[in-house]
Amino acid sequence: MNLDTQFLTMLTMVSGGVVMSAMFDTYKLLLRPQAYWNRVIVDMLFFLTQGCLIFIYYF
């Protein structure tokens, strides 16, 4: 693995983290429920969906 590949991999991972954190902040501001158990369930579904999207983004 040469240096160019490592730099592109790092750039891809950083950009994926920035996009995921921006999406979470938007979700938290607009759509997050107030009840505790509803929030736990919806947050878990959000992170599972984000995990799948990030996985697809890297491949």
**pTM (two decimals):** 0.76
Residue 54 has pLDDT above 90, yes or no: no
| Residue 58 pLDDT class (50, 70, 90 cuts) | confident
| CA-wise closest residue to 44 among 25, 24, 22 | 24
Rounded to whole angstroms, the maximal C-alpha distance in the chain is 50
Contact 54, 16 (CB under 8 A): yes
pLDDT of 13-53, one tens digit each? Answer: 999 899 999 999 999 999 888 899 999 999 999 999 999 98
Instruction: Tell me what pLDDT residue 48 has.
Output: 95
